[in-house]
Amino acid sequence: MIRIDGQLVSAGSGGVYNERMVKGYRVWDPYRSKLAALCMLDESVDLTTDMKVLYLGAANGTTVSHVADYVDCVYAVEFAPRPLRDLLTVAEKRKNIVPIAGDATRPDRYAPFLEVVDLLYQDVAQPDQAGILIKHLPFLKQGSGIDGGMTAILMLKTRSVDIRRTPEEVFAETIERLTDAGLSILNTCWLEPYHHDHAAIVCGVGERKKIPL
């Protein structure tokens, strides 16, 4: 990841969402992007030029555009019509973004449009956030993460899972579900002060299990 004067940046052309520029780089605002917040709080998180990424919950493409500056290809899944229109506009200017109109709870419906990827990124704020990530594990490339690297990142919005329970209780249950699905937990991070009641869970390969779409 590239940092200039303590700011996270990416190297693509600017003007996606009126982002600031510094020394020819786009400033990646951690207050607007949970992935940027994670990268600011955990410098071990890295995106590389050979990565293919499956991004769930692409919204209007703000974070997707920064990810695309770093990696080979981003498959960006979004369901809501309004942000999807914005995502399509972003994808017109970045040919390594593949926008997909799809419901992340039903990956079987858009599976024909995907290839295997190196990294799953899950930012769909629904009650079954862990389940959505788990359903997409079959899209992970065999051998990804074999050297202890990350294979999946879940951005857990605890209040979207169950507002009646504490964030810590939701977090603990989510960790258990991910490990039961065969993932190893490489790191966890609450995203304060950038995002309240949000936690990032960085996963690697554990005992890979066969999971139907």
Taking only the tens place, the pLDDT of each residue in 82-125 is 999 999 999 999 999 999 999 999 999 999 999 999 999 999 98
The answer to whether the annotation marks 122 as part of a ligand binding site is: no
pLDDT of residue 47: 94
More reliable by pLDDT, 10 or 18: 10
Residue 211 confidence class, pLDDT cut points 50, 70, 90: very low
The answer to whether the annotation marks 89 as part of a ligand binding site is: no
Say what the pTM is: 0.91
pLDDT, average across residues 174-185: 91
Whether residue 189 lies inside any domain: the answer is yes
Taking only the tens place, the pLDDT of each residue in 119-146 is 999 999 888 999 999 999 999 987 655 4
Report residue 92: phi and psi, to 5°: -60, -30
Q: For 126-158, b where at least 16 C-beta lie within 10 A, e where not — what string? A: eeebbebbbbbbebbeeebbeeebbbbbbbbbb
> Can you give the residue range of the structural domain that contains 159?
29-205
User: Where on the phi/psi map is residue 147: left (φ > 0), alpha (ψ -120 to 50), or beta?
Assistant: alpha
Q: Give me the CATH number covering residue 169.
A: 3.40.50.150
The answer to whether the annotation marks 125 as part of a ligand binding site is: yes
Residue 203 confidence class, pLDDT cut points 50, 70, 90: very high
The answer to whether the annotation marks 126 as part of a ligand binding site is: yes
Whether residue 158 lies inside any domain: the answer is yes
Whether residue 110 lies inside any domain: the answer is yes
The answer to whether the annotation marks 152 as part of a ligand binding site is: no
The answer to whether the annotation marks 124 as part of a ligand binding site is: yes
The answer to whether the annotation marks 49 as part of a ligand binding site is: no
Query: What is the chain's mean pLDDT, rounded?
Result: 89
Domain count, the chain: 1
